[in-house]
A and B are shown apart, each in its own frame.
Chain A
Amino acid sequence: MKESLLDIICCPLDKHDLELEVEDREDGEVLEGTLTCTDCGETYPIEDGIPNLLPPDMREEAPA
């Protein structure tokens, strides 16, 4: 994902801003990293460049 998307994404639970921690970046794209809610502290992974903003109770769904 592009870092500029931080302007529009938020925590799905309480809608507060997210803070980005980058683990892997390539050509301006964040490929791996973690988004942390600045209010509740819930964390959301960025996997292969796709932010996984599913609420934690829906996250366990394994791809078929």
Chain B
Amino acid sequence: MGLLEDKGRARLFYKYLSTVYDRINPFVWDERMRAEALDWLDPAAGDRVLDVGCGTGFGTEGLLERTDDVHALDQSVHQMEKAFAKFGTRDRVKFYRGDAERLPFADDTFDAVWSSGSIEYWPHPVAGLREIRRVAKPGATVLVVGPDYPNSRLLQRLADAIMLFYDAEEADRMFEEAGYETYEHHIQQAKPGSPKAITTVATVPDR
């Protein structure tokens, strides 16, 4: 497809977009799909979990049902303000502003890493996936939800222009390049006809 490596415009576009809209969600992500994904990630109580690109905190909320050590990072404080309103800034969630492609965490920090609805905005998704692998402990599970390549002409045009959409084959390529050896993809869909999400569950290899 060759469209993944040239996403420099995405950030600029998103910067403009965030002043107009909250965030375009190219797939529909509901509580049922979140519960299914949480079962795949399967964090143990007390696990230290990172939510990369937490946005308004929908994924974060699910993680809190499983463990009380949740760390959440986003580039935009505007997005996170909705998460602050839900969880407060101090008690339940440790919040950080940061870049998914240059994570501000030490190696081998997290027992599990979650990222939903964020990768489509990363200019260099492989760099982000590599960073997630670095901050997760060997053997940890990583779960990434992104938009599957769409059928609709309008979304295809958006996909090819500024946003990252990927099918299972492209996801294989990205995860391999980022250094993962074991992973599987699940296609999730809220209901027939709605845009599909592609959810990858990967294991962090030993160093």
Contacts and interface: CB of A to CB of B under 8 A. Distances in A.
A25 to B, nearest CB: 12
B96 A61 contact: no
Interface in B81-119: 81, 89-90, 94-99, 102-107, 109
Report whether over half of chain A's contact residues are helix, strand or loop; otherwise say mixed. Answer: loop
A12 B102 contact: yes
Interface stretch (B30-38, B71-79, B167-175, B193-201): B71-79
Contact of A63 (B77, B105, B107): B77
Contact of A61 (B15, B90, B102, B105): B15
Interface string A23-36: 00000010000000
Given A49-B89, A55-B99, A2 B76 contact: no
B97 A50 contact: yes
Interface in B141-162: none
Interface in B6-43: 15, 18-19
Nearest to B73: A53
A11 B90 CA distance: 22
* Interface size, B (range): 20 to 34
A13 B129 CA distance: 16
A25 B104 CA distance: 22
Nearest to B20: A64
B96 A9 contact: yes
A61 B165 CA distance: 25
A13 B102 CA distance: 7
Given A8-B106, A9-B104, A10-B105, A51 B97 contact: yes
15 contacts: A5-B94, A8-B106, A8-B109, A9-B96, A9-B106, A12-B99, A12-B103, A12-B104, A29-B90, A50-B96, A51-B97, A51-B104, A63-B76, A63-B78, A64-B78
Interface of B: 15, 18-19, 73, 75-78, 80-81, 89-90, 94-99, 102-107, 109
Given A8-B106, A51-B104, A53-B96, 14 more contacts: A8-B105, A10-B106, A12-B99, A12-B103, A13-B102, A48-B89, A50-B77, A50-B80, A50-B97, A53-B73, A54-B99, A55-B99, A61-B76, A63-B76
